[in-house]
Copies of this chain bind each other. A is one copy, B any other.
């Protein structure tokens, strides 16, 4: 496998460039070394970046893949002119057809995160994170009516990471509530959740996988035993089915996939 280096060059954080480049690179059977060059917001910094890229080209004996979301025209021009890598110009490529279609010029604004700290959207996202943390693991029933979504499921079924992702990425206020033996015996969801059925989603997981995850936290405990995991999952699934809420399995789905399914469902209900 030939050695390659991939650079992510951006005026801002480079998170968009990296996210996109990783998705593209996942289409190939290569594992390039990845180098991030964020905050390249002047011609001078672009020259520095080019020196580093061109040096890497010489060392590798292969030209680097250079993914860029630069919007600063001067900086971009330096890369276009002097960089010996393969330039994948993710913004430039699509700006022209969009300008044509929209009948307007682009404003060359840097980064989707610039100056956002005072925006309503950013404020709401931070509020969603705070709400989600305060309502992690059933810590409080207060202001559940403010929640956009409430996740239920047995311990370690993926509620917390999914809730945090919903808050951080989508700005949704996500509470989560564990289902415990008390609930199974009462054969009913926790009473505090009953008024909020429309926001409820259940998470479930294959008992074998759950047992593995729990063993990492508490090796050889009854809590982690396959027998107990089977019992909890069976009871939790029966309970969620009776309550008539949508149940998603985290066994083979990432938190991003689960969060996307939940958002899709919420939008369809709205």
Contact = CB atoms under 8 A, between A and B. Distances in A.
Interface of A: 4, 12-16, 19-20, 22-24, 26-30, 36, 38-39, 63, 65, 69, 71, 86, 88, 90-91, 93-95, 97-98, 101-102, 104, 106-109, 111-113, 115-117, 122, 126, 129-130, 133, 136, 160-161, 164-165, 168-169, 250-257, 259-261, 263-264, 267
B94 A264 contact: no
Given A27-B91, A98-B28, A164-B168, A260 B20 contact: no
Contact of A254 (B116, B133, B136, B160): B116
Contacts of A86: 97-98, 101
The CB with the most chain B CB atoms within 10 A, among A12, A38, A94, A106, is that of: A94
Given A65-B98, A126-B161, A164-B168, 4 more contacts: A20-B20, A27-B108, A88-B97, A90-B90
Q: 10 shortest A-B CB distances, which residue pairs?
A: A27-B106, A13-B260, A113-B254, A16-B23, A23-B112, A113-B256, A129-B161, A86-B101, A13-B256, A20-B20
Contacts of A93: 93-94
A133 B134 CA distance: 12
Contact of A102 (B28, B126, B129): B28
Nearest to A106: B27
A16 B14 contact: no
A94 B24 contact: yes
Nearest to A251: B117
A29 B104 contact: yes
A96 to B, nearest CB: 11
Contact of A94 (B88, B104, B111, B164): B88
A164 B161 contact: no
A71 to B, nearest CB: 7
A108 B27 CA distance: 6
Contacts of A23: 16, 69, 91, 111-112
A73 to B, nearest CB: 12
Nearest to A27: B106
A109 B27 contact: yes
